[in-house]
Structure 1
């Protein structure tokens, strides 16, 4: 119950979205025996394609392919794997080695949709903010703020436009209240019909984004799940119910 294969995106209209679908390029098929196609979710994406609605959340364990998928989407949209906007893609620093996946994929774009985008990833966020401060007049001194405060400042400044917003593990900089504020910003954008959101997360709170289609990445591939059925939700519920059952295994003897 609460699970189905993730090729289609439901009944929501997608014609005006920045990205309607991600699919393999017929002229450049990927080698299914080489990484990252050896990951079941990536292989499924290549085999079946993936339709995207107004909001999509990807959840799964480390190494399941979440970041690989969102980085590929960002690259195909013209965004740097380092993070930033369509106009600031060269500002970030310290990106990981580029995946070959974008070279085997193509986007189906919405008719007349915005081509502006923003890729926010925790690993390179501070370098991107530093570049923004050097170039944008009257910007608040975000470097004097806490990590989470500066993160939310950027959300407030930049997430007020139409376009595609791709976020990779945004919860890493945020407290519980900060994550709740993030979900509020994203939900308002989606509800207003101005933006399309794709988020990769470990957070059950972020995964509860209202109206989002939630896909769990695992050895089973890309599977659409109800929030209540997500492994991460079950694990956190179990931990909060009885933390000692888990902590006794990590304490030194």
Structure 2
């Protein structure tokens, strides 16, 4: 594990302006990482992806998705928070990747542009254009071929393109890379499957300040378990207005 903590620098910032007005950001001064695999959980708008992008910014990764050497421009979310955090490393590493599900299409297009002058570029991504693969296949080409060197991997909702079976396969890839002692993962997710990774730490962005939460206490686990165990009851309650 290399990234030890993130400190939010709040001097001379307006805590009524975005993103400093987000309760999880406003109420937290620092976040400590104590596991090779850390998950960020919380409702949409809770700040988990915002902080993940800020970490990517400080790592020198493209905040639209990619690594340190992936230079392309698309409209991406505000990087203001990235300019107001400090990362503590032991040791410092410069390799890694920021996976952003919502802009992965643009990253794939960027690789296609590079391939015009560098046809071998696809060797690091499964041997062919990511656009020639399904969304899930393209993600796995990235995981299997790009995530092999010592580095920090920041994944923003990787389950977006993955079936439940592929999510389990991703857990196996993460496990292998962690066992080799080469990798640290920070993952923002809504997936109760991914959250089940053993010995991981889960940080809840629905609390102020951000706090650790046990897997079984997450809404993701509770809601999914309740739905699977009592589907008829859940649907009856959900649709009760239709029968009134």
**TM-score bin, normalised by smaller chain:** 0.7 to 0.9
More helix by share: 2
Taking the aligned partners of 2:6 and 2:12, their CA distance within structure 1 comes to 14
Instruction: State the alpha-carbon separation in 1 of the partners of residues 45 and 52 from structure 2.
Output: 13
Find the residue that maps to 2:202 and give its secondary structure. Answer: strand
Check the 8 A contact 2:57/2:79 in 1, yes or no: no
Per the alignment, in what secondary structure is the counterpart of residue 25 of structure 2? helix
2:108 is aligned to 129
Task: Return the offset for 1:92.
Answer: 5.8
Residue aligning to 1:148: 136
| Residue number in structure 2 paired with 1:25 | 9
Matched residue count: 231
Matches of 1:216 and 1:200, distance apart in 2: 10
Show the counterpart of 2:170: 182
In structure 2, relative to structure 1, the CA distance for the partners of 1:92 and 1:182 (3 Å cut) is: farther
Map 1:1-253; keep pairs closer than 5 Å. Answer: 14=1, 17=2, 19-25=3-9, 28-45=11-28, 47=29, 49-53=30-34, 54-88=36-70, 90-91=71-72, 93-95=74-76, 97-111=77-91, 113-135=92-114, 136-138=121-123, 139-248=127-236, 249-250=238-239, 253=242
- CA-atom RMSD, angstroms? 2.1
Which aligned runs of 4 or more in structure 1 are off by greater than 6 angstroms? none
Once structures 1 and 2 are overlaid, which stretch shifts more, 194-203 or 35-44? 35-44
CA distance in 1, matches of 2:195, 2:12: 32
Q: Relative to structure 2, which stretch is displaced further, 151-160 or 53-62?
A: 53-62
Distance 1:140 1:232, change over 3 A: same
After TM superposition, the structure 1 stretch with the greater mean CA deviation from structure 2, 165-174 or 204-213, is 204-213
Structure 2 residues without counterparts, runs of 5 or longer: 115-120
Q: TM-score, normalised by structure 1?
A: 0.83
1:44 to partner: Cα distance: 3.4
Report the TM-score when normalising by structure 2: 0.86
